[in-house]
Amino acid sequence: MSLLSRPKLIHWQRDALNGMSPSSSFYAKVVEAENHLTAYRHRCVYRRAWMLGNAAYGYAGTTTLARFRFRSGHGVTGARVMLIMGRDNTGATATTPYASVTIGATTAGPFYYGQNPTASDDAPDDMILVADTIAISSDTTYSCSITTGDYARVMAACIYEVGADTVDEATEWFNATIPQAGRRSDAFQGRILQGLSRCTGTTPGRS
């Protein structure tokens, strides 16, 4: 195999002279990147915006606006739910408009907003941003739904993952940033790269 085919990140003169293995500093950088991705991840799992000024939007009773599924990433501890709600268009028919988001068996909300004596024109000052955080488990598949009641109008929705508050090596998907302090066995190197791939959602060696 030609040296030209090797990734430029690993230089054969700098990194591959130690038993054809990258240097400790290279793995330290990989671990640092893994910890950063796991702790500060905000992968969006669902987003949608509805058309403004749609007078027919908003329904009596309970209505399911959207259903979606996602698999949480490695190191995820919660899901942040954000909705933009507008006023109802019924002209005083609605009494308690509300919206909620269900992730698995947990529900964010209900968020109450929108009772309006006149039809809404969807002006910016007629809208409100509501948010909540739901605790979820990592590496888990969730079925989700967005529902409304009593003519509530959801104008936009965004749900994204939240990582751990702290980086702790005791948790399996975190690693110390000083791998040069011990043996760099194949298993250890594989664990680092596997953890990084779980954080980024890719397979090592592939984009």
pLDDT digits (tens, 9 = 90+) for 4-59: 544 455 555 665 555 556 666 666 676 677 667 766 778 899 999 987 765 446 77
pLDDT at 169: 56
133-166 per-position pLDDT tens digit: 999 998 899 999 999 998 898 999 999 998 876 6
Mean pLDDT of 170-182: 50
What's the pLDDT band for 122 if we cut at 50, 70, 90? Answer: confident
State how far the alpha carbon of 143 is from the alpha carbons of 63, 101, 139, 162, 163, in Å.
17, 11, 14, 17, 20
pLDDT at 111: 94
pLDDT at 174: 55
Highest CATH level, class, for 1-207? mainly beta
**Sheet-wide strand order for 62-71:** 62-71, 141-149, 98-103, 106-112
The DSSP call for residue 190 is H
Q: What does the domain layout of the chain look like in residue ranges?
A: 1-207
Q: How many CB atoms lie within 10 A of CB 20?
A: 8
